[in-house]
């Protein structure tokens, strides 16, 4: 089947775990033909290096969500006509009225409960969104109308003054309205793209000719899938490993100010738009695949139907960690041989691996390690920064180094020896940590002290390595680790230190937890499990979808028929130019069996 993969700010250009997941999914399903439609968030993403694409990726199209809008006149001959402007104004009025509606249980236009009165506003949002999309696809000019038309400004201002609108929205000034229009224009750019053709008019086939749209994220990446489903009935699959609405709320909370302060109307309107867009995507998608139960709870809170939610863990490549994990299992199984002479055992060591920024709470880890040193004076702590897991914060890492120097002065064995600090700072790729696997295996106990965490990728890597872990109860940590590690409350250095001391003093328990963690990771979080799950989901969605006819060359069917177009109708490979030698009629000077059989029957029937 032909699958359109819709991404935003990620695959195939950016780096990160979500990009790696998309790459492994595409490479793992070579029997399907993919076309990738990518929305870029910055010039650096659009012009940077991209991942190599396999041969069964038939098409790659990109569009920017940054910079100035596209020049008007490409399709409509200039600025929108009066008739087109009236259509935009009517649809935009419905959309903004849904954003500014203040309903019970929805402060600031953000839904907080099950759909009751909110259902009417959701319908208005959908009517406004698709009302903008149809003329934008046919004629263009939506960006020019939003940014250069006084009519758009008046429509937004009238919506903010509606009875029942939130206080933050009612206080919007001219600068706030212009800022909202600028940001909405960027988010709504997918409505004006030339991606939505089916080839019936003789043009280039677009999303209307694909069998399935797979959107990675519930933000702008879902807009092309929503429009394709609305115009052509194409099934939409939505995958969210990090809930976009949650990320938007967390970013807004980090810069929260009083509702009457400048910028509050902008945040309120954009939050309402993200909420309505997520609800529309959840309502129209045939299936939603969150990456963990934490994301699933957010989606249910935002109105997703529980019957259409199916958790699919992101697959990770366990190959780079296989050797270290096997060595850990063998070491746990072997009985220690009797020693002929006393050998100084290595000091007990804690290790943390990840991207250094405040959400990881390395400050709390250092304070917890001070408690550990009181119980185990010879303990060591290794902090290994992994740039490939995210962009580190140099200022925060420098602050951690200063704090470590203050809490743990350099120690020396005698007055003539050089002192060393029990806390070391390294980076993956250095001689002390050549690769992530050796970094995870460089300690006896692996620690995750995060205050905020989504899906803990580094924890799964440590589990692949057979490490026993002590983690804080944040994000999807409990779901990932199960019963194979110790979990403590976040921002509690004393509880974190107590759990670390327990494992440092019990080698047998460490070995048992490490082996169980590796078995759990290999069972649930590998690439093979993820690819097999999506292979079944693709076939399931196609089996439930009626046959659609995506080109002018195919006759219109009299009725919707499941599997009306066979899988062989669209092959990613090419047929051979000539028949092989073994298929020739005179190969080996032997007559075909099918031709010889009638001759024998005619001879035997002679009387």
pLDDT tens track for 463-509: 999 999 999 999 899 999 999 999 999 999 999 999 999 999 999 99
Look up the CATH number of domain 319-335+345-412+424-525: 3.40.50.2000
Among 182, 163, 160, 181, which Cα is nearest to 171's? 160
Q: Among 77-81, 280-284, 317-321, whose mean pLDDT is lowest? A: 77-81
* Mean pLDDT to the nearest integer, 32-50: 84
More confident: 586 or 387: 387
526-567: pLDDT as tens digits: 999 999 999 999 999 988 876 554 443 344 444 555 555 555
Contact 270, 220 (CB under 8 A): no
pLDDT of residue 599: 45
DSSP assignment letter at 350:
E
Element (H, E) at 212: strand 212-216
**How far is the C-alpha of 83 from the C-alpha of 92, rounded, in Å?**
14
**3-state SS of 221-285?**
CHHHHHHHHHHHCCCEEEEECCCHHHHHHHHHHHCCCCCCCCCHHHHHHHHHHHHHHHHHHHHHC
- Determine the distance from the C-alpha atom of residue 489 to the mean position of all C-alpha atoms in its chain, rounded to a whole number: 26
- Helix/strand/coil percentages in the chain, nearest 5: 50, 15, 40
* Mean pLDDT to the nearest integer, 313-326: 92
Among 518, 531, 538, 483, which Cα is nearest to 313's? 531
Radius of gyration of the chain (CA): 30
- Band of pLDDT at residue 264, cut at 50, 70 and 90: confident
Q: Is 119 helix (H, G, I), strand (E, B) or coil?
A: helix
DSSP assignment letter at 166:
-
428-450: pLDDT as tens digits: 989 888 999 999 999 999 999 99
- Band of pLDDT at residue 174, cut at 50, 70 and 90: very high
- Band of pLDDT at residue 67, cut at 50, 70 and 90: confident
- Band of pLDDT at residue 419, cut at 50, 70 and 90: low
pLDDT of residue 337: 53
Asked if the model's pLDDT at residue 177 lies above 80, the reply is yes
**How far is the C-alpha of 495 from the C-alpha of 491, rounded, in Å?**
9
* Mean pLDDT to the nearest integer, 103-129: 60
Angle between helices 264-284 and 222-232 (to 10 degrees): 50
Residues 6 or more apart whose CB falls under 8 angstroms from that of 146 comprise 92, 152, 181, 184, 185, 188
pLDDT of residue 118: 55
pLDDT of residue 41: 83
Asked if the model's pLDDT at residue 78 lies above 60, the reply is no
DSSP assignment letter at 589:
G
Length of the chain as a residue count: 607
Asked if the model's pLDDT at residue 198 lies above 50, the reply is yes
**How far is the C-alpha of 22 from the C-alpha of 2, rounded, in Å?**
16
Q: Among 107-116, 274-283, 368-377, 409-418, whose mean pLDDT is lowest? A: 107-116
Q: Among 243-252, 275-284, 465-474, 496-505, whose mean pLDDT is lowest? A: 243-252
- Would you give the end-to-end CA distance of the chain in angstroms? 57
Task: Indicate where the chain has its CATH 3.40.50.2000 domain(s).
Answer: 1-67+195-315+526-573, 319-335+345-412+424-525
**How far is the C-alpha of 38 from the C-alpha of 198, rounded, in Å?**
19
Mean pLDDT over each residue of the chain, to the nearest integer? 82
Q: Is 548 helix (H, G, I), strand (E, B) or coil?
A: coil
Contact 160, 265 (CB under 8 A): yes
- Distances 353 to 291, 377, 381, 465 between C-alpha atoms, Å: 22, 23, 11, 13
* Mean pLDDT to the nearest integer, 316-345: 75
Q: Among 2-11, 50-59, 500-509, 591-600, whose mean pLDDT is lowest? A: 591-600
pLDDT of residue 21: 85
CATH 3.40.50.2000 fits 1-67+195-315+526-573, yes or no: yes
Element (H, E) at 298: helix 293-301
Q: Is 96 helix (H, G, I), strand (E, B) or coil?
A: helix
**How far is the C-alpha of 118 from the C-alpha of 301, rounded, in Å?**
13
Alpha helices, H only, 9-141: 17-28, 43-47, 82-100, 118-139
CA atoms within 13 A on the CB side of 66: 13
């Amino acid at each position: 089947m032909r699958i359109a993969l819709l991404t935003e700010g990620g695959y195939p250009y950016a780096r990160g775990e979500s990009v790696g997941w998309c790459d492994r999914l595409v490479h793992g399903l070579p029997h399907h033909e993919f076309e990738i439609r990518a929305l870029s968030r910055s010039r650096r993403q659009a012009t940077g290096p991209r991942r190599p694409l396999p041969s069964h990726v038939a098409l790659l199209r990109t569009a920017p969500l940054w910079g100035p809008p596209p020049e008007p006149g490409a399709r409509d001959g200039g600025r929108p006509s009066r008739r087109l402007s009236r259509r935009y104004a009517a649809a935009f009025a419905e959309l903004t009225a849904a954003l500014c509606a203040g309903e019970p249980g929805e402060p600031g236009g953000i839904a907080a409960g099950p759909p009751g009165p909110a259902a009417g506003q959701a319908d208005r949002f959908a009517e406004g969104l698709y009302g903008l999309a149809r003329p934008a696809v046919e004629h263009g000019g939506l960006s020019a109308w939003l940014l250069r038309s006084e009519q758009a400004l008046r429509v937004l201002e009238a919506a903010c003054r509606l009875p029942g609108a939130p206080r933050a929205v009612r206080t919007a000034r001219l600068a706030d309205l212009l800022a909202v229009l600028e940001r909405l224009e960027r988010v709504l750019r997918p409505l004006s793209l030339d991606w939505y053709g089916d080839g019936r008019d003789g043009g280039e086939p677009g999303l209307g000719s694909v069998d399935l749209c797979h959107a990675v994220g519930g933000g702008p990446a879902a807009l092309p899938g929503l429009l394709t489903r609305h115009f052509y009935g194409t099934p939409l699959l939505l995958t969210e490993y990090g809930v976009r609405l949650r990320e938007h709320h967390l970013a807004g909370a980090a810069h929260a100010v009083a509702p009457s302060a400048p910028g509050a109307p902008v945040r309120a309107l954009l939050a309402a738009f993200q909420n309505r867009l997520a609800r529309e995507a959840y309502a129209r998608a045939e299936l939603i695949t969150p990456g963990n139960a934490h994301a699933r709870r957010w989606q249910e809170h935002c109105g997703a139907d529980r019957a259409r939610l199916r958790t699919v863990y992101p697959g990770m490549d366990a190959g780079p960690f296989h050797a270290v994990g096997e060595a850990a299992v063998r070491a746990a199984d072997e009985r220690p041989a009797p020693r002929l002479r006393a050998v100084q055992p290595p000091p007990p060591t804690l290790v943390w691996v990840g991207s250094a920024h405040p959400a990881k709470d390395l400050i709390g880890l250092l304070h917890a390690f001070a408690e550990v040193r009181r119980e185990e004076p010879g303990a060591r702590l290794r902090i290994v920064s992994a740039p490939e897991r995210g962009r580190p914060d140099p200022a925060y890492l420098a602050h951690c180094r200063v704090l470590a120097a203050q809490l743990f002065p350099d120690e020396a064995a005698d007055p003539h020896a050089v002192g060393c600090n029990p806390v070391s700072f390294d980076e993956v790729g250095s001689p002390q940590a050549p690769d992530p696997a050796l970094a995870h295996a460089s300690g006896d106990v692996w620690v995750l002290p995060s205050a905020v965490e989504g899906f803990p990728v580094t924890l799964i890597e440590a589990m692949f390595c057979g490490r026993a872990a002590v983690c804080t109860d944040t994000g999807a940590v409990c779901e990932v680790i199960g019963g194979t590690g110790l979990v403590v409350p976040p921002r509690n250095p004393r509880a974190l230190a107590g759990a670390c001391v327990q494992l440092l003093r019990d080698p047998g328990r460490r070995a048992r937890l490490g082996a169980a963690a590796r078995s759990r990771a290999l069972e649930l979080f590998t690439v093979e499990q993820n690819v097999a799950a999506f292979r079944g989901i693709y076939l399931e969605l196609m089996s439930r979808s009626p046959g659609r006819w995506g080109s002018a060359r195919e006759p219109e069917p009299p009725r919707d028929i499941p599997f009306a177009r066979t899988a062989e109708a669209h092959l990613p490979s090419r047929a051979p130019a000539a028949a092989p030698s073994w298929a020739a009629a005179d190969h080996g000077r032997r007559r075909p069996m099918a031709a010889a059989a009638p001759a024998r029957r005619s001879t035997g029937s002679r009387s």
